[in-house]
A and B are shown apart, each in its own frame.
Chain A
């Protein structure tokens, strides 16, 4: 049972444009969400997070939006840069624990 889903395995965006990465979840008990970024041959690195008491969190070029009624969150990158090319994972802690449940990832390619 995939409780955190990223239905788009890949996304290609031109440099300077907006990248929108989507994530859906099935468990309405999730109250915190994280996005991680992963380059090849490296471990994931934390990017941005959002608590369920908010519907938006912004950090520089990165903004995460949370729609609790739709059980959907999205990561917006504006403007996209070639260095943003990586795999992006959304994740949520299971219950009141640190056991992160990860989505399957979306590979973003930003081309010049």
Chain B
């Protein structure tokens, strides 16, 4: 199993550009989520999904969109990048809602200039 994979590893965007961060898992996990990590702030939940076709907002959803058309994939879209979105983004998955223990991908480091 590859576990949770994320692409790209690094990305530089200009303000106003859009892009999609990719996340995939091969563990047949129902629950997937996106976090961002900023210095001194821990990890904060952006969006999550409890299964294909179902998504919901986390703590810091503004400026991001998600969709979940398959169990395996959970892309995160930045609609119009802003410097405040400079961060490290982690995708995570767990077997099902309520299993709590989440498996994280290696992260995408995004810089918005």
Contacts and interface: CB of A to CB of B under 8 A. Distances in A.
Interface of A: 4, 6, 32, 34, 36, 41-46, 49, 89, 91, 93, 96-105
A41 B40 contact: no
Nearest to B107: A43
B97 A46 contact: no
Contacts, number: 61
B66 interface: no
A43 B106 contact: yes
B45 A100 contact: yes
Contact of B98 (A45, A49, A98, A103): A98
B102 A100 contact: yes
The 5 A-B pairs of least Cβ separation, nearest first, read A43-B104, A102-B42, A102-B43, A104-B42, A46-B101
Contacts of A43: 4, 90, 92, 104-107
A45 to B, nearest CB: 7
B31 interface: yes
Contact of A93 (B43, B44, B90, B100): B100
B101 A49 contact: yes
B90 A44 contact: yes
A89 B42 contact: yes
Interface size class of B (residues with CB under 8 A): 20 to 34
Interface string B1-41: 00010000000000000000000000000010101000011
Contacts of A4: 42
B74 interface: no
Contacts of A41: 106-107
Contact of A44 (B31, B43, B58, B99): B43
B64 interface: no
Contact of A45 (B41, B42, B104): B104
A103 B42 contact: yes
A49 B100 contact: yes
Nearest to A103: B42
Contacts of B4: 43
